Amino acid sequence: MVVKRSILLLSALLLSQASWAAAPAGEWRAEARRLIASESDYPQLIESLQRQFPLLSDKDKAAVSLIVGYCQSRAGNAQAELFWMNKYLGEFRAAAVNLAFLPGAVRGKINDFRLSWQKDFPVLWELALAPEHASAAYFDPPAELNLRLRASIPCDFQLLSREGTPLAKGSLAANVETVKLPAGADFVRAASQPFRLLLTPRGAPERTIEKYFVVELEYDVPADVEFDPLSGTLALKGRAPQPEQETETKVISQRIRFDKELFKKTVLKDLLVGAAFFVVNATLITSTIDSADTSLFAKSSLFGTRRVFNLAGIGFSLSALSKLPKVFKRERKIEETTRDLPGAREANQALERDLALARSRIGVKLAVREL
């Protein structure tokens, strides 16, 4: 019972939400008919229609854009009028709308208002790349792209980069105008290129419109290729250049050489110093100790000196012995043989051919998207 009651409650809630979302589609017409008869009610009507606008269908949005633009004009709000008429003429392409629900007198004024805007307001009917430039080879891009422009009325145009650098200017008549868009190698290295377009009606510069658009690039890369569009580097997956030569090292002969100079500087030097300590200890100090003329106090002092000289002699002798192995140096005569690897060279040549083929297969698809 509880589950059944919950389902019924959820169904009722969904139905109420659906009816609430769909209600403005019919209610806004009745409200517009009631309020539009009196100019003092324009602010209330504008606020109401703007609040309901997101809930409407595209067809109703076109009608509401035109009505709100008209009301803003009568209220003297030029910027708001421009915003809503730009939406009606530009976004909804001056779609035919049914205003039969409005009073006949008001309906006539709105139609006259629409015609006056259509006469002086440029609607961009076409903004696209020419078919021949809808795709290009990444490594052989065209120097320039053909951009197709067509406006609803004759007007002047200026094409600029997003930073404001002038790229092209001219006039648009009733026919399609082809504008040269600079391209080249750097053009294809970014995923999108931004531009700005100004359309100025002849005789009505205050109704200049500004359009932002980007040329978007989609890279067509083979599945077996690793490719970086920013740097233009590519590699084949699982394949890398191989060394075409290898070097073999062979020991021909070896010998041990006695380094006389090093022996003199290290081993012999320490041996001589140690021998000097032993000689002084064995002659001068010992003879002085054994002499009958030497006092007992002097003899006791010389005993300590003899011990120091004996230790110094031993120390230098041991140092000489530790340095002795270093004077014997092993010398080897080595022969290096380099030989070619034909298999690796053939593999590298095949890799170069496949890389060149992969470069030719990397393409770019281009399309214009208005912002």
pLDDT (0 to 100) of residue 24: 53
Average pLDDT, rounded, for the chain: 85
Which pLDDT band, with edges at 50, 70 and 90, does 25 fall under?
low
Alpha-carbon gap, residue 103 to 112, rounded angstroms: 14
d(CA 187, CA 183): 5
Verdict on whether the full-model pTM lies above 0.75: no
Per-residue model confidence (pLDDT) at position 134: 92
| Cα 6 from Cα 4, distance rounded (Å) | 5
- DSSP letter for 179, please: E
pLDDT by residue (tens digit) across 148-163?
Answer: 998 888 899 999 988 8
Of 268, 267, 274, nearest in space to 314 by CA: 274
The class level of CATH for 124-222+362-370 reads mainly beta
Q: Is the confidence at residue 53, as pLDDT, over 50?
A: yes
pLDDT digits (tens, 9 = 90+) for 193-230: 999 999 998 877 877 888 899 999 999 999 999 999 99
Q: Return the top range by mean pLDDT from 44-58, 192-206, 270-284, 311-325.
A: 44-58
Share of the chain above pLDDT 90, in %: 44
Secondary structure E strands in the chain: 124-129, 135-137, 144-151, 155-161, 166-172, 177-182, 192-201, 209-220, 225-228, 233-236, 245-258, 328-340, 363-370
Q: pLDDT tens across 69-116, in order?
A: 999 999 999 999 989 998 998 888 888 899 999 999 999 999 999 998
Check the CA dihedral 278-281-284-290 and report its sign.
Answer: negative
